Chain A
Amino acid sequence: MDIKDKILKIVPEVTFTEQGDTVAVVPLASFRKLAEALRHDPEDAMDFMRDIVGMDWGETLGALYYLESTTSNRRITLRTETDNRENPVIPSVCDLWATAQIKEREAHDFFGIIFTGNPDLRRLFLREDWVGYPFRKDYDMKSNPLNMTNEEDDDVAPTYELGSKGELICGKNVVFAPEEFVINMGPQHPSTHGALRMRISLDGETVKRVDPVCGYIHRGIEKMNESLTYPQTLALTDRLDYLSAHQSRHALCMCIEKAAGIEISERAKYIRTIMDELQRIDSHLLYFSCLVLDMGGFTPFFYGFREREMVLDIFEETTGGRLIQNYNMIGGVQADLHPDFQKKVKAFIKHMRGIVHEYHEIFTGNVIVTSRMKGVGVLSREDVISYGATGGTGRASGWSNDVRKHHPYGVYDKVEFKEILRTEGDSFARYMVRMDEIMESLHIIEQLIDNIPEGEYRVKTKPIIRVPEGIYSQSVETSRGEFDVILESHGDKSPYRLHYRSACLPLVHTLDKACRGWKIADLIVIGASIDLVIPDIDR
């Protein structure tokens, strides 16, 4: 049955908008009913929640819900609006999808939307004493000057319920009880891979609860985008997940091109795909180095960086940048490939294939590694889907979630490659998925490198790019999981709202699930194996 008919059968009042993506506009009163029906649909359950995007539509606030089925990979977007601005209330769906808990916290932090029934509606990125909601259109940018006083953490989280007359009842939910032993880790800690802070409740050495505190690198990129023109917004995507710089920028470029109706050349598609895969290798090599370093090994760190420098050299010759390349542009790529590009890439493939055994000899088979990683931090398939933990973390638990396979972009539909899946769901499986993906990426590049078609690398675009009104989205598989760009345009030269689905925010949310019951020392290994990049979480 068509998804539209199915929705109309459940709630007949739903209307559909077709500007850009198909969006089902759901009245607030029947939203919860529709969500439950879609989630528990017996034949094609929408069990993966990609994202919740808070919105400010002037008169009202609201949210977009991006859902996907893991069996048929069909997607649907729901849109619901609050009644007014003063008292914006939406029923929570965090009992249906675990990931909704943190996504609703994000929307609450930025827009002040109250999700009734969410057990933990603290602020997520901003300080507890922050005034106002920055993503609202009427927010005064100067209302929160730099506050140098030290922050106090609340151990009690507010929750909201609707009373019988429609009034809000504020409840309290204890995060950490006064008798609990809570230690603080980060934001200045070498094993958090950036400025992540965690509060960890311990029973002896055993982790009872992990409460991630985000926002130490929250730069408000999404809000900044609203005052930038489309070509200007590109530069900030590289700074989100700097180890997936090509891929995130690729997503934004594709989204704008799709919306503005720009057709790019076949050559540009090939170049982008090859660069994406090189970036994936670069990121996974760094993952290997960091994981080893966090576990106390030093020599394998040099191995990872030795090959990584070769990839960076290839990047640098063509793009001019090592870590952040600023290479994708609307309409293609910034510059043509360097004449030595193909030669060097082929040499690298040969070298990498010949040397990867060193990685496995020194690290993978090591008895300390095996005992610290095998069977530790297990996430089940149901968990990863419910938490929305995409990428290697999800695939290590047996969830086939590769965007390159299910929703191909670039030239991924023209190449043959395996999706690496494992079933154990432990730290070791997460590690092995990454190592095998390096080989798979080499295989993809090999098929493309000799067949790059001739043609222009960049088509000419208008000097001022305007995007027709509508809601557009584009997803890519970055090194860490699914990254989505969600763009609402009102026909101007800058976006009305540009939202990024961070691949790492669900991952940091799963840390609590993965670490409970394990020792504090295992937390470091689990965190490293999940592969977090903090600027991507905070945006």
Chain B
Amino acid sequence: MGMKQPKIRSMKYEEFKNNDYLEHMVEELREQGVNVAVSKLDDLINWGRSNSVWSFLLGTSCCAIEFMALGAARYDMARFGFEVTRNSPRQGDVLLVMGTITHRCAPLMKRLYDQLAEPKYVIAVGGCTISGGPFKNSYHVVDGINQIVPVDVYIPGCPPRPEAFYYGLMQLQRKIKLEHFFGGVNRKQPKPEED
């Protein structure tokens, strides 16, 4: 039996640069083991989920403008199934953090993340969100949102080009396709500690 591969119609599997982490995920899935019927059902659900990713936007600066270009006619993100953007955490699947997160904004971002319904994902867009970017030495900038919330995909750039957005969003789709929906937990987030 061949290795299970997450297929995306728009881009070949080999053309993605970092397939090893996905293969690692597949291996984990196999070790845990699920029966055939459930895993087929998983595939079906993941096919649906990955092709209608609703993004929940937290656009604080420049990257958000590039995201608007994605929605317009030339780049037209509707082709890939993530054109529905929502501004309420109740309706989103993936938190797109676009722009610098400052000390004042950080508790708010955490709260928005907590309000999102599971299964939820986070994409960090742009140098500022990933590491603080050019503002790393500032007294008021969080250097990397991964200190606050678990991040699934990083899209580097200042701001990233629309093509980079696509690559990042497709990576998320591939990741969703490999998720184990019934039963086990496939999340990075540790269980909240009981106090």
Q: Which residues of A contact B (CB under 8 A)?
A: 125-127, 134, 139, 141, 144, 146-151, 187-190, 194-195, 215-221, 223-224, 227, 235-236, 239, 242-243, 286, 289, 301-302, 305-306, 308-309, 312, 322-324, 534-535
Looking at A187, A195, A289, the one whose CB has the most chain B CB atoms below 10 A away is A195
Since A134-B139, A147-B107, A534-B60 are in contact, a sample of 12 more A-B pairs with Cβ atoms closer than 8 Å, ordered by chain A residue number, is A125-B104, A148-B110, A217-B60, A217-B99, A218-B104, A220-B139, A221-B138, A239-B134, A323-B66, A324-B158, A535-B60, A535-B99
Asked whether, in the complex, the Cβ of B138 is within 8 Å of the Cβ of A309, the reply is no
Asked if B142 lies at the interface with its beta carbon under 8 angstroms from chain A, I say: yes
Are A217 and B61 neighbours in the complex by a CB distance under 8 Å? yes
Give the distance in Å from the alpha carbon of A219 to the alpha carbon of B66 in the complex: 20
CA A223 to CA B140, docked complex, whole Å? 11
Which of B23-31, B42-50, B69-77 is the contact stretch? B69-77
Residues 112-167 of B at the A interface (beta carbon under 8 Å)? 112, 134-135, 137-142, 147-148, 158-159, 161
B contact residues around A220 at 8 Å (CB): 135, 138-141
What chain A residues lie within 8 Å of B138 (beta carbons)?
Answer: 219-221, 223-224
Residue contact A194 to B104, C-beta cutoff 8 Å: no
Are B62 and A239 in contact, with the CB atoms below 8 A? Answer: yes
CA distance A126 to B110 in the complex (A): 18
Q: Distance in Å from the Cβ of B194 to the closest Cβ of chain A? A: 19
A195 to B135, CA, bound (A): 17
B72-94 CB contact bits vs A (8 Å, 1 = yes)? Answer: 11100000000000010000000
Given the interface contacts A190-B57, A323-B65, does A219 sit within 8 Å of B135 by beta carbon? yes
Chain B nearest CB, measured from A530 CB (Å):
18
Q: How far is the CA of A164 from the CA of B161 in the complex (A)?
A: 62
> A148 to B72, Cβ gap below 8 A?
no
Residues of B whose CB lies within 8 Å of any CB of A are 57-62, 64-66, 68-69, 72-74, 87, 99-100, 102-108, 110-112, 134-135, 137-142, 147-148, 158-159, 161
Interchain residue pairs A-B with the least CB separation, the first 10:
A305-B72, A242-B62, A195-B60, A220-B138, A190-B87, A216-B105, A535-B61, A219-B135, A220-B140, A302-B73
Which of these, B62, B108, B139, contacts A141 with CB under 8 Å? B139
**CB contact between B100 and one of A190, A219, A312 (< 8 Å): that residue:** A219
Task: Identify A148's interface contact among B102, B112, B148, CB under 8 A.
Answer: B148
Q: Is the CB–CB distance between B102 and A215 below 8 Å?
A: yes
CB distance from B134 to the nearest CB of A (A): 6
Q: Which residue of B lies closest to A538 (CB)?
A: B102
Smallest Cβ distance from A199 to chain B, in angstroms? 15
- Are B134 and A236 in contact, CB atoms less than 8 angstroms apart? yes
Contact B100 A217 (CB under 8 A): yes
Q: Per a CB cutoff under 8 Å, which of B64, B72, B99, B147 touches A306?
A: B72
Q: Which residues in A have their C-beta under 8 angstroms from that of B64?
A: 194
What CA separation (Å) do A236 and B158 show in the bound complex? 12
Given known A-B contacts A239-B62, A242-B61, A322-B161, A309 and B105 have beta carbons under 8 A apart: no
A127-B103, A148-B106, A150-B107 given; A219·B141 CB < 8 A: yes
Bound complex: CA of A322 vs CA of B106, how far in Å? 28
Q: B104: which of A190, A215, A286 is its contact (CB, 8 Å)? A: A215
CB distance from B62 to the nearest CB of A (A): 4
List, sorted by A's number, 9 A–B pairs whose CB atoms are closer than 8 Å.
A126-B140, A216-B60, A217-B105, A218-B102, A218-B140, A219-B141, A302-B73, A305-B73, A535-B99
Given contacts A219-B100, A219-B135, A220-B138, contact A302 B72 (CB under 8 A): yes
**Cβ of A308: which chain B residues have Cβ within 8 Å of it?**
69
User: Given A127-B104, A323-B65, A188 and B58 touching (CB < 8 A)?
Assistant: yes
* Contact B104 A243, beta carbon cutoff 8 Å: no
Please name all residues of chain B whose beta carbon is closer than 8 Å to the beta carbon of A227 when the two chains form the complex.
Answer: 137
Most buried by B among A220, A236, A306, A324: A220
Task: Please judge, given known A-B contacts A188-B108, A302-B73, whether A224 and B135 are in contact too, CB under 8 Å.
Answer: yes
Complex: A141 Cα to B139 Cα, angstroms: 6
Asked whether A219 lies within 8 Å of B107 as measured between CB atoms, the reply is no
Closest A residue by C-beta to B99: A217
A323–B67 Cα gap in the complex (Å)? 11
- Residues of A within 8 Å of B103, CB to CB, are 127, 144, 146-147
Per the bound structure, the CA–CA distance linking A149 and B147 in Å amounts to: 15
Q: In the complex the two chains form, is B65's CB within 8 Å of A243's CB? A: yes
Contact of A217 among B68, B102, B110, B148 (CB under 8 A): B102
Whether the Cβ atoms of A323 and B104 lie closer than 8 Å is: no
Query: Which residue of B has the minimal Cβ distance to A142?
Result: B139
Compute how far the CA of A497 lies from the CA of B58 in the bound complex, rounded to whole angstroms: 32
A224–chain B nearest beta-carbon distance, Å: 6
Contact B72 A301 (CB under 8 A): yes
Assembled-state Cα–Cα distance A139/B138 (Å): 13
* In-complex Cβ contact of A323 among B62, B87, B110, B134 (8 A): B62
- List chain B residues, Cβ under 8 A from A150: 107, 111
Of B73, B74, B104, B137, most buried by chain A (CB within 10 Å of CB) is: B104
Report the separation of the CA atoms of residues A8 and B44 in the bound assembly, to the nearest whole angstrom. Answer: 83
In the complex formed, the residue of A with least CB distance to B109 is: A188
When C-beta atoms are compared, the residue in chain A nearest to B72 turns out to be A305
Q: How far is the CB of A299 from chain B (nearest CB, A)?
A: 10
A128 and B87 CA atoms in complex are apart in Å by 27
Choose from A146, A224, A322 the contact partner of B66 (Cβ within 8 Å): A322
Q: Which chain B residues lie closer than 8 Å to A141 at the CB level? A: 139
Provide the bound-state CA to CA distance between A83 and B66, in Å. Answer: 49
B-chain residues with CB within 8 Å of residue A324 when the two chains form the complex: 62, 158-159
User: What are the residues of chain B within 8 A of A146 when measuring CB–CB?
Assistant: 103, 106, 142, 147
In the bound complex, do residue B72 and residue A224 qualify as a contact, i.e. CB atoms below 8 Å apart? no
Given A194-B60, A302-B73, A323-B65, check contact A216 B104 (CB 8 Å): yes
B74 pairs with A309, CB closer than 8 A: yes
Find the B residue at minimum CB distance from A245. B62
Given A301-B72, A323-B159, residue A187 in contact with residue B61 (CB < 8 A): no
Within the complex, the shortest CB–CB distance from B178 to chain A, in Å, comes to: 30
